[in-house]
Structure 1
Amino acid sequence: MHSILLSLFPLIALIFTGYILKNRQFFSEGFWAGAEKLNYYFLFPAMLFGNLASARIDLDMVNTILLILTVMLSLACTVLYIIRKIYRIPAARFGVYTQSNVRFNTYIGLAIVASLFHQQGMTLFAIILAISIPMVNILSILALTEKEGMDLRSVSLSLLKNPLIMGCVVGVLFNFSGLQLWGGLQTFIQQLAGCSLPLGLMCVGAALQFMALKNDLLPLLINTFSRLLIMPALAYGICKWLNFSSLETQIFVLYFALPTTSASYILTKVLKGDSQLMAGIISLQTLCSALTLPIVLAFVI
């Protein structure tokens, strides 16, 4: 437990630093918007590309990842759509509930994996990202869209324009091409990747909106509990049932124990969902994950 807390403390401290700097107005509002944009469109895709371009991608590993992601996301969506049918939840709120259970904070996840599981864990987690990012984006867009407003062309365009998806796709294609990155370019990408996680974690902190916690407390608590505790417990059970290796089990449980991403707020706002509810869930999940992640990790490590 001590080593886990030691690894998690710098990450939590960076998030807290971002929150303090934003609320003390140390930088202008435009700084955080620019930092988020720089990371989302440039630094983070470069990191994903760098990890996947040089990763040793095993087809058996890809099949394993596809299997557990399909099982877990299918179970989560089945339960969510049954609840939607019973309570007649509109898309504006249903999309929020879906994102809070199927999307994940890649900044926190990669930072933890780099700290605790090193290169072997990073390779596995990078492949999980390459497969899961398109899947969870499709599920999120569909959940936020009413049936009559469903347009396959606009959904496809949204996915094609997603820089994280493009970073993953280009990285995998480069990997399969058999080409090698020139040393200077590889070092440049590594430098960009090194900037991405600290900046991303501070942007996570800057995006927290605790005033949004005053409303809809019950949905906030239910979604936080299901994402941070039920999902990783279910992932652990499935990994044990399928006889996954220790590292695979640890990485998958961590993945499903992560809080939802702050990018969910942007997508919710763009697609006219309940952005205030989304802000509240993001903030509560991120805050509570500082307590739940050490417990979950201590259980599987």
Structure 2
Amino acid sequence: MSLAFSVLPLIFVIAAGYGLGKSGLIPRENWGGIEALSFRALIPAMLVLAIAQTDLSVARYGGFAVVLLGVLACLGGLALVVWRLTGMSRASAGSVFQLSVRWNAFVALAAADVFLADGIAVLAIAIALLIPTINVACIVVLAALGPAQAGPGQIARTVSRNPLVIACAIGLALNLSGVTLPESVASALDMIARGALAVGLMAIGAGISLRRLATLDARVGVSVLLRPVIGPVLFAGLGTLWGLPAMQLFAGVLVFAAPAASNGYIIAKQMGADAELYADVMTWQVVLSMLCLPIWAALLL
């Protein structure tokens, strides 16, 4: 029950964005600026701070890291296979790829706090490992699938100029150099970063259409299953075969059972993917995750 309540605020913030968008209190033409603010300032601040302050000594978590990256690669590959088999548009394929690999660390951390004594420390390893990997992979795929169908050179330039990739590089450089951010700088980044989740979720809500949400087409069905269902099953199976301890096994399941991250919607809008599909699927994933996470806890703990 406590886990369900930890997820409910996400739903409420999405609903608030929906209400602001539909009521016209924030005009439709203003949402583009709000999305750009999140993409270019709020989310990068969150990434710099999170990566710079995470303990990257992963000697104890080698197997955990290998299985995380293996399942991530499987999900991304499945998303691209679905694109080829179903003939969906390139814009839809970009969003389905993001929906399969991005994860809402806030939901996973809330679940870890409920179920695992040291779960937050383990998830910090996952955050440091996956945030740069996922962001680079998503930018590459979205650039390749985008309207311009960019070549390798254009993809490399797009990746190198992307605010999220730059933020990950700055965070890693700070972490590996041993430089500690001054308290005033860290506090300022924290103040900026705290707006990232709420702004992203409200932007999702503003982009939701209840009429589309009620239509469960194949794209929505596949995207919903990839993240909260297929991903956790893959991690639980591979993690068990690898012999991961129970805490790492459940922490990895949390990574893939959590819904997709809200920042994927902003990135889809910025890079020409199907942002409306992303918004609709992520809302379904939030609901399904709220149902699935307690079941996984009962099975693995």
Q: Per the shorter chain, which TM-score range? A: 0.7 to 0.9
| Structure 2 equivalent of residue 40 of structure 1 | 39
Deviation at 1:200, TM superposition (A): 2.8
1:25/1:115 Cα in 2 relative to 1: closer, same or farther (>3 Å)?
A: farther
The TM-score normalised by the length of structure 1 is: 0.80
1:36-72, Cα deviation, whole Å (9 max, x unpaired): 2222211221122112212211143674465224321
Deviation at 1:296, TM superposition (A): 4.0
1:215/1:276 Cα in 2 relative to 1: closer, same or farther (>3 Å)?
A: farther
Percent identical across equivalent pairs? 24
Take 1:204 and 1:61, find their aligned partners in 2: how far apart are those partners?
37
| Structure 2 equivalent of residue 260 of structure 1 | 260
1:1-301 → structure 2 map (5 Å cutoff): 2-60=1-59, 63-64=62-63, 66-83=65-82, 86=85, 91-105=90-104, 108-109=107-108, 120-121=121-122, 123-127=124-128, 128-142=130-144, 144=145, 149-213=149-213, 217-261=217-261, 264=264, 277-278=277-278, 280-296=280-296, 299-300=299-300
Take 2:9 and 2:269, find their aligned partners in 1: how far apart are those partners?
31
Take 2:201 and 2:111, find their aligned partners in 1: how far apart are those partners?
11
1:202-221, Cα deviation, whole Å (9 max, x unpaired): 33322323333466613322
1:193/1:149 Cα in 2 relative to 1: closer, same or farther (>3 Å)?
A: closer
1:274/1:20 Cα in 2 relative to 1: closer, same or farther (>3 Å)?
A: closer
1:296/1:29 Cα in 2 relative to 1: closer, same or farther (>3 Å)?
A: farther
- Aligned 8 A contact 2:95 2:278 in 1: yes
Q: How many residues align?
A: 298
- Aligned 8 A contact 1:100 1:282 in 2: yes
Take 2:217 and 2:175, find their aligned partners in 1: how far apart are those partners?
46
Q: Which structure 1 segments of 5+ residues have no match?
A: none
1:94/1:179 Cα in 2 relative to 1: closer, same or farther (>3 Å)?
A: closer
Take 1:36 and 1:111, find their aligned partners in 2: how far apart are those partners?
25
Q: How much is the aligned-residue C-alpha RMSD, in angstroms?
A: 3.4
Take 2:193 and 2:115, find their aligned partners in 1: how far apart are those partners?
18
- Aligned 8 A contact 1:45 1:167 in 2: yes
1:13/1:208 Cα in 2 relative to 1: closer, same or farther (>3 Å)?
A: same
1:137/1:286 Cα in 2 relative to 1: closer, same or farther (>3 Å)?
A: farther
Take 1:189 and 1:114, find their aligned partners in 2: how far apart are those partners?
24
The amino acid of 1:28's aligned partner reads P
Deviation at 1:229, TM superposition (A): 0.8
The TM-score normalised by the length of structure 2 is: 0.80
Q: Which structure 2 segments of 5+ residues have no match?
A: none
